[in-house]
Amino acid sequence: MTSRRNFLQKLTLSAVSLPLIPNFTQNSQASMNHNTKKASTLRVAIMGLGSYATRVAKAMLDSKNAKLVGLISGTPSKIKDWQATYNIPDKNCYNYENFDAIKDNPDIDAVYIITPNALHHPQTLRVAAAGKHVICEKPMAINAKEGREMVEACNKAGVKLLVGYRMHFEPNTLEIIRLREDGAFGEIKFFQGLSGFRIGDPTQWRLNKELAGGGAMMDIGIYSINGARYMVGEEPEWVTAQETKTDPVKFKEGVDETITFQFGFPSGVISSCLSTYSTSHLDKFFLNGTKGFAEMQPSTGYGPIKAWTNKGPLNFPHVTHQTVQMDRMAGIILDGETAKIPVDGREGLKDLIIIDAIYKAVDTGKKVKIDLT
């Protein structure tokens, strides 16, 4: 944990020294222009070689349009192991102190940041300054202020910022949205999102406010926040929220164990959601309208996703979410394609604004207005 803190301090100091408008060298400008050129394959370096990065890397082996070509890690032994597994050359491997040098590496188009939440902001600023596209795991940052700075930095650098919303490409999810838009469920009235599991090791970074930015809400609750928005098809106007903490030793100050929260939408739709680190097997979405309903359980896990409506089950074959995600993101970055449900930095920022509002509602006990403009 101490080493994580040291990394955070170093990276934060590095980010502070960077201007939001990068001064590009000729090499970095050339690299940026190369990255935005149409190409058949998105060449990706993964930053942070933990368990989820492993899942992404394995999924990319089956990608048609994305390829793992580089590694960034603070652990030399991990880099050596990954090099052997994925045939990554030494020249494409970096640590957290020297990865700014990717600006001079034409073999890398984008960096996928899969590190603790608090590191996303400084690392994104540095990757953008190097002229490389950014794919960042969710939550995009630990608050909306950081999220805005990330969006601004990538815009000014002329690179794209995408967020790892794998469910935005999942076929059952997209089919329910299509049915809702076609009026199959009538006038939408209610949404329920349940997101939770029992967290284990009390020393892990997810239970460290400095690195996680919070607790369950930042890790699993964001699925119900984002899901409420794309399932209802509107943006929430207000939120109320209540926190429950049964283990203040494991869940210290600023690390939420369980939060229930309620949204109000412009059309009158209401939602009731739960985010928790203390109850397992909570992964359910329920959308109800005047003519029918849709239900998913599991709704956001790695799959297979199970979904049905009042007319019967949906039977889409399971596909590895991260494989589809990376292929689609390659199209977005290289060919200007768009996603049915956005996955850009602005989408990530909206979730951060809502998370800030939820924590404010918990702290004040009042209904909090949500302004996504």
Q: What is the pLDDT of residues 218-250, one digit of tens each?
A: 999 999 999 999 999 999 999 999 999 999 999
Rounded alpha-carbon distances, angstroms, from residue 139 to 134, 162, 324, 345: 14, 11, 20, 11
160 has catalytic annotation: no
Local confidence band at 6 (pLDDT 50, 70, 90 cut-offs): low
% of residues, the chain, pLDDT over 70: 90
**Residue 125: predicted pLDDT:** 98
223 has catalytic annotation: yes
Question: Going from the N-terminus, what domains does the chain have, and what CATH number goes with each?
Answer: 2-163 (3.40.50.720), 167-314+343-369 (3.30.360.10)
**Residue 40: predicted pLDDT:** 78
Instruction: Taking residues 320-326, report their average pLDDT.
Output: 98
Among 94, 96, 112, 223, the active-site one is: 223
359: pLDDT strictly greater than 70: yes
Give pLDDT tens digits for 73-129. Answer: 999 999 999 999 999 999 999 999 999 999 999 999 999 999 999 999 999 999 999
Question: What is the arrangement of strands in the sheet containing 66-72, beginning at the earlier edge strand?
Answer: 93-94, 66-72, 42-47, 110-113, 133-136, 161-163
Mean pLDDT of the chain: 92
Among 138, 160, 284, 350, the active-site one is: 138
Q: What is the DSSP string of 251-295?
A: S-TT--SEEEEEEE-TTS-EEEEEEESS-SSEEEEEEEESS-EEE
Measured in whole angstroms, how far is the alpha carbon of residue 157 from the centre of its chain? 21
Give pLDDT tens digits for 116-151. Answer: 999 999 999 999 999 999 999 999 999 999 999 999
